[in-house]
Amino acid sequence: MTEIERILQKGVVTEDFLKEEVICDFLVTTERKKLFAVLLDMLVEFDKICKKHNLRYYLDGGTLLGAIRHKGFIPWDDDIDVEMPREDYEKFIKLGDEFKHPYFLQTPYTDPTYFYCPARIRNSNTTALVEMFAYQNFNQGVWLTILPLDNWKKEAEPEINKIKSLIIENSTYMRLTNPHLDEKNQERVRNYSGRDPFETYAEIMRLAQQFNGQPTEYITIAVEALSSYSKKLWYAEDFTSTLLADFEGYKFPIPVGYERVLRIVFGDYMALPPIEDRGLHHSGVIFDMDKPYTEYVNKLK
């Protein structure tokens, strides 16, 4: 049984969900619909376990935007992001045994060559192979990212920059096994400190949590390095409670102040990007819903 057949049998989506269609002048192919089905299945599983353990979470980033603007996936998106208050996140990452194959809860402690900071849920029967890290021996199935929310102070941008440099260090570590790096990445590897990546990871988490336990006006995702500082500094009051938003026929929690959050992140969030900017969110990733990532990795050996 293929993974899509299993998800159809489980009833997460119907056959009609997989039909190719044009949405917002963008062709959503059956292959992308398969990706959406796998992602939605993981979100449903994640939601079930959070409810079981009374853990708080919110849809985040493009997933939150998709819920508000499209009542589901942004047609050109390719992943799901959720965020959890730090207290709930720390409880959640101890629940690895709750996820049975093909689901896998991934942290550096469950998958010891994986050193992204946020935890992820992976579907082990699928492929989302990041070509840069293709030789790194960790689970590279399709992912759902879980991001911790920490208390933060507006004037603490230098602390974010410290965290960012450490994230880059561990990202460099994950390049060490790749024999086909371009010159820029080879130079990055040559300058690698050689520090134990677990020590680096622990320092990132310590710095990210330095304001927890203090009343702060803001919260942020301190362990994520890609967004500009101004776009990830949010008002704590916007996360004091949740609303339920429609997402592909399901309802999932979003922050009560989602409108202000979306304006901070996206500006005029209801406006669509230019057609030429509607494409895969993550470049350099091989997606395959019909084969496990191990089939691709084994060919590299």
Token pair listed for 9? 């049998």
95 lies in a domain? yes
Closest CA to 58 of 201, 278, 236, 227: 236
| pLDDT at residue 280 in the model | 62
- Domain total in the chain: 1
- Distance between CA atoms of residues 297 and 9, nearest Å: 28
226 lies in a domain? no
H/E stretch holding 67 reads helix 61-69
- Distance between CA atoms of residues 116 and 147, nearest Å: 11
pLDDT by residue (tens digit) across 208-264? Answer: 999 999 999 999 999 987 789 999 999 999 999 999 999 999 999 999 999 999 999
Output the average pLDDT for the chain. 95
- Going from the C-alpha of 122 to that of each of 146, 205, 210, 273, the distances in angstroms are 11, 22, 29, 29
Q: Is the pLDDT of residue 121 over 90?
A: yes
| pLDDT at residue 282 in the model | 66
Cβ pair 93, 105 in contact under 8 A: yes
201 lies in a domain? no
- Distance between CA atoms of residues 45 and 66, nearest Å: 19
7 lies in a domain? yes
| pLDDT at residue 227 in the model | 83
pLDDT, average across residues 99-128? 97
pLDDT band at 277 (very low <50, low <70, confident <90, very high): confident
* Residue range(s) defining the domain that contains residue 261: 3-150+240-300
| pLDDT at residue 226 in the model | 77
169 lies in a domain? no
pLDDT, average across residues 269-277? 89
- Distance between CA atoms of residues 286 and 161, nearest Å: 30
**74 DSSP assignment:** -
198 lies in a domain? no
Cβ pair 91, 79 in contact under 8 A: no
H/E stretch holding 36 reads helix 30-52
Q: Is the pLDDT of residue 276 over 90?
A: no
Look at residue 285 and give its three-state secondary structure.
Answer: strand
59 lies in a domain? yes
Cβ pair 118, 11 in contact under 8 A: no
Contacts of 197 (CB under 8 A, 6+ apart): 108, 115, 169, 170, 173
64 lies in a domain? yes
Closest CA to 31 of 120, 144, 142: 142
| pLDDT at residue 260 in the model | 98
Cβ pair 67, 59 in contact under 8 A: yes
Strands 127-130 and 285-288: antiparallel
Strands 80-85 and 142-152: parallel
Cβ pair 84, 147 in contact under 8 A: yes
Q: How many CB atoms lie within 10 A of CB 146?
A: 25
Distance of CA 36 to the CA centre of its chain: 14
Sign of CA dihedral 229, 235, 240, 243: negative
DSSP conformation letters of 115-176: --SSEEEEETTSEEEEGGGTTS-S--SEEEEEEEEEEE-TT-HHHHHHHHHHHHHHHHHTTT
